[in-house]
Structure 1
Amino acid sequence: MAPKTSTDESASKRSPRVDQDAIRGQVARVVRIVFGVLAAILAIGALLVVLRDSVNEQNSIVKLITDIADAVSGPFSRDDGIFSFSGKNAVAKNALLNWGIAAIVYLVLGRVIAGVVGPRGKR
């Protein structure tokens, strides 16, 4: 009967680590999803700006997406971003390049943060 007790003790010592890894895995998954959604919003927002002649800009969904994209773009804003075009189609070029770069940055940041937060054995 003594060996079962030692086996039970070792199993109880391992379970907190398994629970911690499961929690870290879930947090990493949530981080990847949130950053992926933000990148998708930026990409869709850039597409809507490019297609502005065909898109109803007064539509609530279009306004929501472009407003969120404006809010999360940071230094990559379409009005005062890192790259600033002038001339024909300048608005579309600004949105595509600046928001496209911002989307890539969000994807990379999401992967890096998820890697730091995620389970230690899966790096």
Structure 2
Amino acid sequence: MKKKSKKRENASEHLELKGFLSFLILHELSLKRLCGDELSANIGKRRGTSLTPGTIYPALKRLRKKKLIAYRRQGRKKVYSLTELGEKELEKLYTLFSAYFYGLKHKIMRKPDKARTEKKKK
């Protein structure tokens, strides 16, 4: 059995939902420093529903452990920001996801429309 390359493993990890959530968090923090509630609301606007605390805070903890984000306390709130390492990771993720979705878009567009195909047969 062939071993997956490290680069390939990382790519597939990021394409999981957990990886996509990390990408969204890093993207939001590249625009502005935010607390967990604000992050949840901003990402929720894109998804159509807010993220639960059980989703957002474990993701923030994972990103902090990887040193991709940091926080400062403002009263009782933690305000998160992107680290230099987080900025570099985000650039990689922009490339990864744009290539993935570009390929997906073109694959979808090449599928024949069932209605068109049946029309041509008649």
The reply to whether TM is greater than 0.5 is no
**More relative contact order, 1 or 2 (CA 8 Å, 6+ apart):** 1
**TM-score normalised per structure 1:** 0.33
Higher helix share: 1
